[in-house]
Amino acid sequence: MKRLLAILLSLVMSFILAESQVYAIPENQNLEKQEYLVQFDVSSYKGLSEDAINTEFKNVLNSINIEEVDILKAYHLLPVYCVRLSEEQAQVLKELSIVKAVEPNYKVKASEPITQMIESEEVKPLQDTIPWGIERVQATDAHYYGYYGSGIKVAVLDTGIDGGHYDLYVRGGYSVFNDSPYYDGYGHGTHVAGIVAALENSYGVLGVAPDVSLYSVKVLGNDGYGSISGIVEGIEWAVNNNMNVINMSLGSSSYSSIFEDYCNYAYNSGLLIVAAAGNSGNSYGTGDSVEYPARYSSVMAVAATDYYDKRASFSSTGSDVEIAAPGVDIYSTYPDNNYAYMSGTSMACPHVAGAAALVWSANPNLTNIQVRQKLVNSAKYLGNRYHYGAGLVQAYNAIYY
């Protein structure tokens, strides 16, 4: 009997020791680390303050030998951390019930423009040029009846916006990098911003919604690349600063549940999110190639059309395409008081963001869901929904739909 009790006691102790080593990582290993996003499940911490919860989560991270220097960023709207982890540490975290998700900090890039032409100083337009896409989405019709987007805040999450461009009025912004949100070393964000909001100032070009409050949220670097961690930081800024519309002319082929949760959070907080469907389509229009975040249900995925209202051959296709807009040879602002032609779903996306601003300005009591429904229900039917979604966005029709 004593022998049996001794065996049972030995087994119990072995089990306890095994459980106590769940978080253990050998300290003598020289393990290569990479950036991850870690999302915790807060369901067990109801009633605790944010500081108390953060302390609990940091205790978990410290228990597997994660040093303070490796905790790169703590987010606030959701219990997410950007952390440097070894593969072994990441695996241990994935196995904990308190952890909802552990994901690599995926790279994201600007939806690369297909063509580009910069105009020289000598040939800049001396009066407002109305790019063909602005008329095609009925923005000029809305302008005629006095709707210019006043009172609506649009955050452009991109490579920054040239704050000194005389055809743009940037009200504010934020950068996830160590530089200014008003510096755009890549040109992409400034071009996108002009499509949304180039001023009606008898010079340069005209945007879809020239009276919107335009904000530059720099989440992509001067090479056009960024990461999920930077974009969710930008979304946090947009939510905390009461934006109405988020424009994301960027994408990735990698799914992230954390990125999706952030888009859902912003959407459920009342923001309308518009994103480029991607430039991964083919000339046959086959396949499902819509990128993230456009692929998420809380985000409007925008495809690109040409001057003849046909799908641009590069425009991504699939069941997640929600709406279409001009995206070929689009003339808009560019850094250093220049202008450029670019093509891509990056250019289609801000046409829809601007149209949303016009609709919301005309109907300020609408919710983001209602604005989205108006845009979709009033779109001009173009054909295959996998190519065009509901069809070509029509701002004026949406205002009165």
| Active-site residue identified among 346, 361, 378, 387 | 346
**Cα separation, 10 vs 14, whole angstroms:** 6
How is residue 205 annotated by DSSP?
B
Question: Closest Cα partner for 139 from 355, 391, 331, 304?
Answer: 355
Question: Could you confirm whether 346 is annotated as catalytic?
Answer: yes
Question: Closest Cα partner for 290 from 375, 387, 377?
Answer: 387
| Active-site residue identified among 111, 143, 158, 184 | 158
**Cα separation, 311 vs 331, whole angstroms:** 18
| Active-site residue identified among 162, 167, 184, 188 | 188
Question: Could you confirm whether 41 is annotated as catalytic?
Answer: no
108-130: string of b/e by CB count within 10 Å (b at 16+)? bbbbbbbeeeeeeeeeeeeebeb
Q: Tabulate helix, strand, coil % of the chain (nearest 5).
A: 35, 25, 45
**Cα separation, 395 vs 401, whole angstroms:** 10
**Cα separation, 335 vs 354, whole angstroms:** 20
Question: Could you confirm whether 188 is annotated as catalytic?
Answer: yes
- Which residues carry out catalysis? 158, 188, 346
